[in-house]
Structure 1
Amino acid sequence: MAYLNTLNEHKMAKDIFVPILKKMDLKGVKFTGGSDEQGIDIEYYELSKPERFKQYVGIQFKKGDITYSARGTNNSIKEIKNQAEEAFQKEICSVNSGEVNYISRLIVATTGEINENARKLINKAKVKGENTRITYWDQERLAEYINEHWIDEFINYFGIKLEEQQNEEENNDEDEYIVNENYLNENYEKEVKKCRKVKKTMNSWQWEIIEAMINNIFDTDYSSISMSDLLMELESTEDNIRNELLNLVQLKYISLDEGEIYFDGNASDLSKLAHIIIDEMVGAEEFEGNEEYAKSLFFEIIK
């Protein structure tokens, strides 16, 4: 899951799980993510028996644990519930017949775990009196689908060496690095806590923008990113993300200057932590060739 967590949710859905679902012989698999996605990243349909009616399924992808408890929530539970409600209202028009359909099942998929209380709250999005269902794919289910249907492509996509794959399976990856989660928690506890707090103040679209900027730090060592590079990373247009960019500016999380986007205010803590990880790994002679590990370490530690 560490490799998946280096991708934004839309890229993970489009690049990884659309081809996986097609290899599973599901029908009408289509990427629908975007600013007007109405709660669905991928849709497909199943044929009922014996009538062979189309029953549409929508999948919403998230990263990290989805939890709900008395101490608070993680991964924006209420936002997920709202997106689920939107998903059941989305009209799906048949190109051939013009018939309008609605999804009957929503799948909430995440690279982490989903606790029971979170499921109970999200399940309230089901439409009363309608034949609607919500099911869940956690990290184990996603890993199962990757291993069964797309493991060679997955290895090629991320450029995983055979030795790295074996280490991942044995959960020994982290132990081989001096700079790991334990090291950062012991030496930079204050900085890590600040970053976790900042992340929780953003919605998923705002976070995808910030996430792309963080990935750029690990790729280029620059704390700013050009608008064109940001749009390429997000695979989006400026119109689609304009509102979220303006919101981030109003929050004083980013600043814009002659086509460059810079970290600002409290979001600068995210940039600082990324540079801390780079500097520590360079000092330990671990950074070169392990940039993807550095990214996954950053996103894992601020979950």
Structure 2
Amino acid sequence: MGKVALIIIYNHKFDKNIDIVENLYKNRFSEIYHLVPFYDGDKSNVIPVYENSHYFQGYVAQGFKSYFKEKYEHYFFIGDDLILNPQINENNYTEHLKLNNSTCFLPGFIYLHDKKSLWGRVQDAFKYNINLSGVEIKNELPTYDDAVSSFKKLGLEVKPVSFDLIHKKPNSIFSFAKKVIRDKTYIFKYLINKNYNLPYPMVGSYSDIFVVSADSIRLFTHYCGVFAATNLFVEIGLPTAMVLSAKKIITEKELQFQGKALWPDGYARMDGSSEYAKDDYKELEKFNYSLKELIEKFPENYLYLHPIKLSKWNTQL
């Protein structure tokens, strides 16, 4: 039996995809679980979860007691619309991802204070309310200073965020006027471009694939639950939870494989760059939207392809 659990995260109740995904990975991973919102079926390895998909780190927390086993060395999470390189399996994943028993994996970090990034979720971090009404988490997270220490131990920076990252610069006189109407002090804030400390140390990351070590999983899932309960967007809440709980985190820049995210023209990339996708998604046309053909011709240097919307594909293998 495998020493790693492969856990598939479904953003929505796509029950029809469960068997398709199971068949895709069952010959590579012997221990598979599915986290499916509002699942009411009878499959023993499908775990029902109840959370907004914008905070799907909550799925990870809610399902913990159902997928946790002492024998597992790692918990390998992927989205149901992410296709993992067919070379990777339960026997070689640690080699490909350069993991040991005490290391975790994330695709990479996005610094919220990085002015090279125009990531729209910086505002979510700025507006995060750690004292959200109805949720008592004061004693559920490390203190601010202890969190900063965790960041520094992993070589990560914690810096103030500038006003123009929190509120994107208006692209026309009309949008500028609207901002001024909504906030009479906007002009003053815009001109001085003041820096603001976030309410808690946070970092971003692409979060549709991640691996958590056995010695981090309990704290990681706890922090994931806390950030979900306080409505922190998943691609901030999940990586921050990992930083607070992991001893070491491997990222794609240290690997031979690199992940490939495919977005329609005009969508912002999730790699922290300011570039926009230019028909990335058209790359899939060469596989004729056949899952069998994609697996057979999967690009060797890609760690994964995402997103693959299975409802639009021929899923016969």
User: So what's the TM-score if we normalise by structure 1?
Assistant: 0.27
Tell which has more relative contact order, 1 or 2 (C-alpha 8 A, sep 6+).
2
TM-score by structure 2 length? 0.26
The structure in which a higher percent of residues are helix is 1
